[in-house]
Amino acid sequence: MNKETVRNNRINMSSRLSKNSKINARLLVATSIVLSIFLMLSGTVSAADRTLPNRFSGGVTLDCVDAPVGTVINAYIGGELCGIVTVTTAGEYAQLGVLGDGGPDNGATITFMVGGVAAAQTAEWAVGGEPRQLNLIAADMTTYYGDVDGDGYGDLANTTEAMCSPPIGYVEDGTDCDDNDPAVHPGATEVCNGVDDNCDGVVDEGLTSTYYADDDADGYGDPDDTIMACALTAGYVANDGDCNDADAAINPGAVEVENDVDDNCDGVIDEGFCACDFCLALSAGWNFVSVPRRIDGANDALTVFNLDPANETCEYYDAGTGSCITNPANISVVPCQGYWVWKVNSETLCIDFKESAGSNVPPAQQLYAGWNMIGHIDMGDMPIDDGTSADFGSMASIEGKFSQVWMWTQESGWEIYPFGLNTMTPGQGYWIWMNEDAMMSGTP
């Protein structure tokens, strides 16, 4: 090879190297530009940016009031404590830093606890996040009641849960008994309308009265047939005294006639009339009675007083033995003695006297010092002791031998001689205090 050929080869080689170097330089610059653009588009940030905490501040309430100074606020990501701050100004907090892991925590939910109570608000953790304003509200959920009729009282069956204040259409009070009627609620005034206006479980309380059916239209009602109403209703009256609501002639205002009927509903039949020798009126309950003459026919207490052995009774105190006889079958009803008689219902007894006794055989009873049960000795009223020969002491032959006489009636209770009681009455029983033994005589 000659020199010329070698030189030409070197020139050509140098020329090719020079071209390759320029191409490589251009490729390097282009690659750098593309990489820069890629990094910008991919959002890649520095390691320092990845670990910067998210910062929050704002207002804070606890149990529906400003959170007091010293309240602790905790922030959590995935249940892990990632930030904490203490309230230094009531109702406000500042600089709550929430530190997260820039990789897995980016976009994670942050939850908050205020004084141990969960806040309703949450936030999203972000890499390199800017400081944020976040008001926190923490309170237990409260039950509120739907108030459809807008009367301020809610329906116990219509509820919702909310913090601090009720949603629209709900109230705190759940005591409405009719949420479709604004006039019906616990604060309403009860009116007589067949409705429980004030929701106390009672209809028309204090506004109704009892009325009695008056089937016979005599103005007196049947006590066993009643209604409760705000006012008188047709067929009813306010009076409950009728003892036979099927007969207009029988009522408390009727005049008693001799017909074996209690015309005036006073519990006594034919009072003022007596078709027999003696009529003895007995009331329901205890009666203290006697008979003034010997009885014609059986004179045991069961028969004379028409007693029901299962429900009614008679008692007599025998001063001679100091014992009380309580079996009516063993008690003889005779003049000069008194008897306690228990009747279930009122009844007037018709008693006939034994005519053959004769006026020369008056009844008598042995009295003993102390208390004795006696009966009135005559068919008419008689003074106990008026100083005459016609008073009880003289007629009974015990003048000066007794000091007290006690009488009992259902109407007046106990009456006592000499402290107000002055007269003895036919059919009435008495206790007498004898100062000494004596034989008491009756009238024939």
**DSSP letter for each residue of 304-365:** HTT--TTT-EEEEEETTTTEEE--GGG-B--TT--EEEEESS-EEEEE-B-GGG-TTS--EE
Here the tokens at position 433 are 């205090």
Cβ atoms of 145 and 158 closer than 8 Å: yes
Span 195-207, pLDDT tens digits? 999 999 999 998 9
Q: Quick check: 10 pLDDT over 70?
A: no
Cβ atoms of 240 and 212 closer than 8 Å: yes
Average pLDDT over the chain, rounded to an integer: 87
**What separation, in Å, do the N-terminal and C-terminal C-alpha atoms of the chain show?**
198
Look at residue 357 in the predicted model and tell me its pLDDT: 52
Exposed, middle or buried, 74 (CB in 10 Å: 0-12/13-18/19+)? Answer: middle
Q: Among 170, 186, 167, which Cα is nearest to 178's?
A: 186
d(CA 53, CA 100) in angstroms, rounded, equals 7
Rg (CA), the chain: 56
Please report, rounded to a whole number, the percentage of residues in the chain having pLDDT higher than 70.
87
Span 354-411, pLDDT tens digits? 876 555 567 899 999 999 999 999 999 999 999 999 999 999 999 999 999 999 999 9
Q: What is the mean pLDDT of residues 220-240?
A: 93
Q: What is the mean pLDDT of residues 331-354?
A: 94
The SS3 call for residue 289 is strand
Beta bridge partners of 66: 61
Look at residue 394 in the predicted model and tell me its pLDDT: 95
Span 43-95, pLDDT tens digits? 444 555 567 899 999 999 999 999 999 999 999 999 999 999 999 999 999 99
Strand intervals (E) in 32-104 = 54-62, 65-66, 72-77, 80-86, 92-98
d(CA 378, CA 427) in angstroms, rounded, equals 9
CATH 3.40.50.1370 given to domain 48-138: no
pTM of the model: 0.43
Q: CB neighbours of 441 closer than 8 A, spacing ≥ 6?
A: 336, 362, 363, 364, 377, 395, 396, 397
Q: Quick check: 22 pLDDT over 90?
A: no
Give the residue extent of every domain in the chain.
Answer: 48-138, 274-444
Q: What is the mean pLDDT of residues 246-256?
A: 94
Look at residue 241 in the predicted model and tell me its pLDDT: 94
Q: Quick check: 346 pLDDT over 60?
A: yes
DSSP 335: T
